Amino acid sequence: MSKKLNATEKAINAVNAKMKRDQRSLFTAAVKESNAAHFAGSIVQQLDDLSVRREQWEKTDYKKANDGLYTLLAECLDVFQARFVKGTEQEKKALRESLMQRLKADGIRVVKTSTTLTMLARYVFNSDRKRAQGYGYVLAAAVSHEKTAAEFPAWVVEQGGIEELKRRMVKSEGAKAKQEAVKAATLSVKGWVELNTLEPLAHVDIEGVTGSYAVLLAKPNVQGGVDIVGSLSEVNDALVNALILRMAKRQVTKADADAAMGRQIAKEHGDMLAAANDEQQRLAANG
């Protein structure tokens, strides 16, 4: 009987211990969630204050000087660096969700891929997408140059102002996209070269050409073919890679040109359809 009681007591104690652990886990999760909500709420309150000051600035000094704008952007940068960056992953997520909800409630379209800096700027300045994105670019430039909020206003002036920084960042984004395209094209060209090793484009019998790779200098002729006018044996890897990179860049340039041509054709087609529709409406109106 005593043994049975001991077993029962052990089972009860085990259940009680598990309940306590579960309660502690639930309490810890609740505390973390509460902390994240408080973190987001305090930052949003700070942004609300900045938004009020932005409205006052627009009504008073907007047309006089950029000092107020630089100060407001500097404080947005301070919120990002001193608050958001140092927050936990849960706190960062809570802030982004809070900003997205508030922006959507104001009828402002945002997506999950919107940067936090852009959302901060859009929330504070209540601005259109293009303007907010521009401010986001400027703030991102400051972050990439490791500028503090205190350094921000003077740094913007040194860089030529907001519009100049926006222009550079947009150009930089375009350059990054082209670099990624060239990387992808380089892999494609390397694969194409490997494939052509198995199935060559052509075979030319030339004595004295040696090495893993050789370069043949070919000159297009009037018959539509090419004449081999020179050769270079024992080509090193650096030259091979340089040639492959050049081929990749040419591929990207051609793709860009084709895309631009496609957009132009689509535009002209749309203009023609619009003109034809206008003509039909005119004829219908004149009976």
The two tokens of residue 260 are: 């631009």
Candidates 247, 262, 238; CA nearest to 185 is 247
- Between CA 23 and CA 31 the distance in angstroms is 12
User: What counts of helices (H) and strands (E) characterise the chain?
Assistant: 8, 2
Q: What is the pLDDT of residues 129-165, one digit of tens each?
A: 778 888 888 998 899 889 999 999 999 989 888 888 8
158-171: b (≥16 Cβ within 10 Å) or e: ebeebeebbeebee
Q: Are strands 215-220 and 226-232 parallel, antiparallel or unpaired?
A: antiparallel
Report the share of the chain in percent with pLDDT over 70: 77
Q: What is the pLDDT of residues 110-127, one digit of tens each?
A: 888 888 888 888 888 876
Q: What is the pTM of this model?
A: 0.46
The two tokens of residue 13 are: 């104690």
